[in-house]
């Protein structure tokens, strides 16, 4: 039996639960590989989620990708669908689900401002109700659960670089608050499920990440600049370009996920994962113009409301507890990312529309 491309809604969730439970029960009875885990990746069709699914499959695990395609793309899963240990379920985690699993990764939420601001109520529901549903699933099956939180919980920081102990400077009543406060609320739920129900949690705070499989319309600074440069369009820099960001290549981030999830000593407090190398947005634009050989010009627009002026992670905890730090230089990561977008932009119009 094959779960590939299975689509469900709440009416059919019970059928799915019985179906998947039967498959995995049979699989476990016939398998001598006790180290193989059944892993659910919520948001697995997205930029980060698809890279994570690929890593887990390469390690020999059974992976269930759950995604509602709000920003995820089937194209990101094409190379995974041929695996006998990969399954896809179309489902929105704001609706309950019951799948027997050993581990859960919660990456389900749009991460770029244009996407999470398009439906702020649903963004908040995804972060709060979705997290609650996955935590209850983890509690039911005694599964370890991983939460992809964000550096946005620090808001426009008054402390630089940002350690995990910093409480942040977040506007709870602004256009970004559905995401910032949603992720902060999710962290609280994870902490309380651990304290009250003994759920084994892992929480990562992700700083700006880039790489292949970002959407051309992603709306984040790296993808925006690369797409504009490749099209020969003006590159839009918000503000004067002096605001800073720290850019982590996706492979480094996924390695950080892996080390946190499987750290021999359980870590139940948030851990920053990001690249402490700090660049101005203006310098990034110049570098991308140079690397693409573009004739694009830089134009300046007004800075968005609550846009952070500085962002750089303090990764002391990741170094000491996980032995992790990024290894991929910005120039090398940009080279791979530019090549990916070149391929995206040269697709026939219909293909690109389907991929997006």
Q: Which residues contact 255 (CB under 8 A, 6 or more apart)?
A: 324
Query: Annotated catalytic residue: which of 105, 154, 179, 249?
Result: 179
Catalytic residue flag (residue 179): yes
Exposure on the CB side of residue 182, measured as CA atoms within 13 A: 26
Sign of CA dihedral 54, 60, 61, 63: positive
Cβ–Cβ < 8 Å for 157, 308: yes
Cis preceding linkage at 254, omega within 30: no
DSSP 192-221: HHHHHH---EEEEEE--EE-TT--TT--SH
Query: What distance in Å separates the CA atoms of residue 32 and residue 98, rounded to the nearest whole number?
Result: 25
Cβ–Cβ < 8 Å for 36, 58: no
Query: What distance in Å separates the CA atoms of residue 145 and residue 155, rounded to the nearest whole number?
Result: 25
Q: Which residues are catalytic?
A: 179
């Amino acid at each position: 039996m094959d779960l590939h491309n299975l689509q469900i809604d709440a009416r059919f969730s019970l059928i799915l639960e019985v179906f998947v439970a039967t498959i995995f029960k049979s699989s476990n009875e016939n398998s001598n590989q006790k180290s193989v885990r059944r892993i659910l990746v919520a948001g697995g069709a997205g930029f980060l989620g698809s890279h994570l699914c690929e890593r887990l499959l390469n390690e020999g695990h059974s992976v269930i990708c759950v995604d509602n395609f709000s920003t995820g793309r089937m194209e990101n899963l094409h190379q995974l669908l041929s695996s006998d240990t990969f399954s896809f379920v179309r489902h929105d985690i704001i609706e309950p689900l019951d799948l027997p699993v050993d581990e859960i990764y919660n990456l389900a939420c749009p991460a770029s401002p244009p996407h999470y601001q398009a439906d702020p109520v649903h963004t908040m529901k995804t972060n709060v109700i979705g997290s609650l549903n996955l935590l209850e699933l983890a509690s039911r099956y005694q599964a370890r659960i991983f939460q992809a939180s964000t550096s946005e919980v620090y808001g426009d920081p008054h402390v630089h670089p940002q350690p995990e102990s910093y409480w942040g400077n977040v506007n709870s009543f602004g256009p970004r608050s559905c995401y910032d406060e949603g992720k902060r609320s999710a962290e609280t739920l994870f902490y309380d499920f651990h304290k009250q129900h003994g759920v084994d949690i892992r929480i990562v705070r992700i700083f700006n990440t880039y790489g292949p499989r970002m959407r051309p319309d992603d709306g984040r600074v790296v993808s925006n600049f690369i797409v504009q440069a490749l099209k020969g369009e003006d590159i839009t820099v918000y503000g004067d370009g002096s605001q800073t960001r720290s850019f982590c290549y996706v492979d480094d981030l996924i390695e950080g996920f892996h080390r946190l999830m499987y750290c021999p000593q359980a870590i139940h407090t948030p851990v920053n994962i990001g690249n402490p190398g700090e660049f101005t947005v203006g310098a990034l634009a110049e570098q991308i113009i140079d690397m693409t050989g573009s004739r694009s010009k830089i134009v300046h627009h007004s800075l968005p409301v609550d846009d952070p002026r500085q962002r750089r992670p303090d990764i002391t905890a990741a170094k000491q507890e996980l032995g992790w730090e990024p290894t991929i230089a910005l120039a090398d990561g940009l080279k791979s990312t530019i090549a990916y977008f070149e391929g995206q932009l040269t697709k026939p119009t219909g293909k690109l529309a389907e991929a997006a």
